[in-house]
């Protein structure tokens, strides 16, 4: 049985380490980028808008596979999102030269 709002799964990295990615992190990453679910879905292989909604805990049904979650994560990281874990999992945007110049400018 899948509970609504569950939204967190373990994603096994290629290096063999395990990192937790939560639905809240996925939603927050999309919000930082200003991306709707569809933009993530078209960039991620084997992922639909419904898959994104299920990973965020908004849709009922079969939970996303670890492969789908890894694909979602890869797309968001390629766009500049950094997933943070630990006591308070979250997301932030990777610092870029343009962003640094704007802040220091």
Tell me the CATH number at 72: 1.10.260.40
Full domain range(s) for residue 56: 8-104
What band does 101 get if pLDDT is binned at 50, 70 and 90?
very low
- Kindly report, residue by residue over 3-54, the tens digit of the pLDDT: 334 444 443 333 334 467 899 999 999 999 999 999 999 999 999 999 999 9
Number of structural domains the chain divides into: 1
The residue ranking higher by pLDDT, 102 or 32, is 32
Q: What is this structure's pTM?
A: 0.74
Q: Confirm whether 59 is domain-assigned.
A: yes
> CA 71 to CA 21: how far, in whole Å?
12
Q: Confirm whether 47 is domain-assigned.
A: yes
What band does 97 get if pLDDT is binned at 50, 70 and 90?
low
Q: Confirm whether 3 is domain-assigned.
A: no
Q: Confirm whether 2 is domain-assigned.
A: no
CA dihedral for 33, 38, 43, 45, sign (positive or negative): positive
With tokens 């290096």, the residue in question is 15
> CA 85 to CA 81: how far, in whole Å?
13
């Amino acid at each position: 049985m899948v509970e609504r709002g569950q939204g967190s799964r373990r994603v096994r990295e290629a290096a063999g380490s395990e990192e937790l990615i939560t639905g809240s992190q996925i939603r927050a990453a999309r919000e930082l980028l200003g991306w709707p679910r569809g933009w993530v879905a078209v960039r991620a292989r084997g992922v639909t808008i419904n898959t994104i909604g299920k990973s965020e805990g908004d849709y009922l049904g079969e939970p996303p596979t670890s492969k789908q979650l890894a694909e979602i994560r890869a797309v968001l990281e390629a766009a500049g999102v950094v997933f943070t874990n630990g006591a308070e999992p979250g997301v932030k945007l990777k610092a870029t030269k343009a962003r640094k110049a704007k802040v220091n400018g």
